[in-house]
Amino acid sequence: MNKHFKDAWYYFRRSGSHLRRGVQAELDTGERKFRTWTGREQESEPEPTRREKVRKNLRNAEQTAKQRSQKVKRRSREAKRRSRDAVKDARKRIGMS
């Protein structure tokens, strides 16, 4: 029975945190609208949090890895084409084709 109470408390806290985030998001949009109407817009963007910096770095690393893999794929295709051409050329020279 104690397990059921622990589960209930877990879901109760989880729903509370979801509620808090939802209310915060709603208030943020309302605050922005109010500030634009009154002409009191915030001048600068807040400094990115550590989490946002890490996400940005991960996105950059992902893009870099993707570009490198595409470059390697392109080089391997070119090498394959060159080797095929070399084999064709060698066969012509020795008269196999």
42-69 confidence digits (pLDDT tens):
766 788 899 999 999 999 999 999 999 9
Quick one: 35 and 69 in the same domain? no
Quick one: 70 and 36 in the same domain? no
Judge whether residue 96 has pLDDT over 80. Answer: no
Which pTM was predicted? 0.42
> Rounded to an integer, what distance in angstroms lies between the CA atom of residue 37 and that of residue 61?
40
Collect all residues with Cβ–Cβ distance below 8 Å to 41 and sequence separation of at least 6: 35
Quick one: 2 and 33 in the same domain? yes
Structural domain of residue 80, as residue ranges? 63-97
In the block, tokens 């609208």 appear at 33
